[in-house]
Amino acid sequence: MRVVVDDSIRDAPASLALTEDAKLLRLAGPHDDFTRTDPWRVLRIQSEFIEGFDTLAGIEKGVTIFGSARTGPDDPQYAAAQETARLLAEAGFSIITGAGPGIMEAANRGAKLGGGHSVGCNIELPFEQGANPYVDTLVNFRYFFVRKTMFIKYSIGFIIFPGGFGTLDELFEALTLIQTGKISQFPVVLFGRHYWAGLVRWLQARVLGERKISPGDLDLMLVTDDPREAADAVIAAYAALTAAGAR
């Protein structure tokens, strides 16, 4: 059987410069000068953290919405993401996305429609990814791990729409942080029952069945097709968080 691999991202044109992530993760050559070695990059990473913290410091009720950049405006999931973000914005929440097209654009658009604050955390890629036109506050990142820290630090919950590897990465990082007690009262909503059904069944039958996770770990996720239910889950979690802080 012939395996077909999508190389559209891996095999970027040679004319495109390496991203900073790629430079950081590749093996250094014996003749690299100091400004191209890891000690120097630590300073650049530090400055990126500072810029992110400084720009996003005012966000107190942020909700990050993830999903595929390939979702078009005519897709029902685009409309659902826009509506979910609109409901949250009307409830006083800031909407944070990766700033790109697809679900990200829909969520930022919904934030604007709801009169809320629309935030985009863009990432340097081998090909051009500009920010969508519905972002109020934009932060550009070179390093994925710095950007991922911002999503967690300035969010009180994640809503995960259908997406690819990047979406799955954010999903399981959030679940790991909750499972290990690094963050609490952090709702993770999987939007799109049909899309996520196979993954949920595999987690139940294989991962839980072989006792790689505990039964309660599956309760860390809410699966829904309803924008109102998704928004209400986040609103309720925030109310519980503020009530716990008041005690």
Q: How far apart are CA 211 and CA 208, in angstroms?
A: 5
Query: What is the b/e burial string over 170-187, where b = at least 16 CB atoms within 10 angstroms of the residue's CB?
Result: bbeebbeebeeeeeebbb
- The per-residue pLDDT for 8 is 53
Amino acid in position 55: T
pLDDT digits (tens, 9 = 90+) for 19-67: 776 665 665 555 556 556 778 888 999 999 999 999 999 999 999 999 9
CA distance 68 to 161: 7
In sign, the C-alpha dihedral spanning 238, 242, 243, 247 is positive
| Domain boundary assignment for the chain | 48-246
CATH number assigned to the domain covering 48-246:
3.40.50.450
pLDDT in tens, 174-185: 999 999 999 988
What percent of the chain clears pLDDT 90, i.e. is strictly above it?
75
pTM for the structure as a whole: 0.86
For residue range 119-176, what is the model confidence (pLDDT) as tens digits? Answer: 999 998 876 568 999 999 999 999 999 999 999 999 999 999 999 999 999 999 999 9
Look up residue 181 and give its DSSP letter: T
Q: Which helix (H) or strand (E) holds 62?
A: strand 62-66
4-11: Cβ within 8 A, 24+ apart: 9/125, 9/126, 9/127
> Coil, strand, or helix at residue 190?
strand
Closest by CA to 156, choosing from 237, 220, 98, is 237
Map tokens 């939007």 to a residue.
191
